[in-house]
Amino acid sequence: MKTALVTGASRGIGKAISEELARNGYLVVGLSRNIEPGEPFAHTIKGDVSDVGSHEFYVNQIIDQFGQIDLLVNNAGAAPTKRLDVLDTTVESFDRLMDINLRGPFFLSQLIARSMIEKRKVLQDYNPKIIFISSVSAVASSPERAEYCVSKAGLSMAGQVFADRLVSHNIPVFEIRPGIILTDMTRTVKEKYDKRIADGLVPQGRWGKPEDIAKGVLSLAQGAFPYSTGTIIELSGGMNIRHL
């Protein structure tokens, strides 16, 4: 059985990803600050991905118990606690989002990539993968939450550099770029985006669901795109379409 580590697994997109992988034969380890035992995963770790000093403890715990990590899904993320104009963004909010959305996933990926490289030397039929969950905000400006956009843009580049570095070890790395997904994070702005979606912001005319992203993760995890490391897959209901 393959082992998947999913960060931010307690709710929203992360929970949907974890449940989809578990339904399809993965032994899922869910990591989250808010996760509790009893989730439908093989194992849960209550921890903070932004606490880089704890990463080695988490990873060693998983490998000691399950042998290896076949799939890392960097999903954990946060929005600003208060939306402010870019001219008013605070250092504290900027640093918080960088720690959660970029610094934590970057160094967790570094640690696990090293383990994957070593495991490939000794394990047969071991085909590990890394997936970064970013956002359309990696390329779409929102001046009232600039620190979120910058953190996601950095995460997108992290996916590219890891894909570039790991290709020689035959470890594919992908980025999934969600659009406007209905989660706890977006419920506070639901009325705003209900109107914008009705006005045509999303060509497919609806909110995305966490399950939409989970299905994308599963397809990559199962090897549906074997010749595409470094690929960015946008799941946004057509927001990526450029039109006049």
Annotated catalytic residues are: 148
- Whether the Cβ atoms of residue 140 and residue 202 lie closer than 8 Å to each other: no
Residue that the structure tokens 């000691």 belong to: 64
- Fill in the DSSP letter of residue 181: B
Among the listed residues 223, 217, 225, 235, the one whose alpha carbon sits nearest the alpha carbon of residue 20: 217
In 24-132, alpha helices (H): 55-66, 91-98, 104-122
> Would you report the helix, strand and coil content of the chain in percent, each value rounded to 5?
45, 15, 40
Among the listed residues 217, 209, 199, 195, the one whose alpha carbon sits nearest the alpha carbon of residue 237: 209
Show the tokens assigned to 230: 């470094």
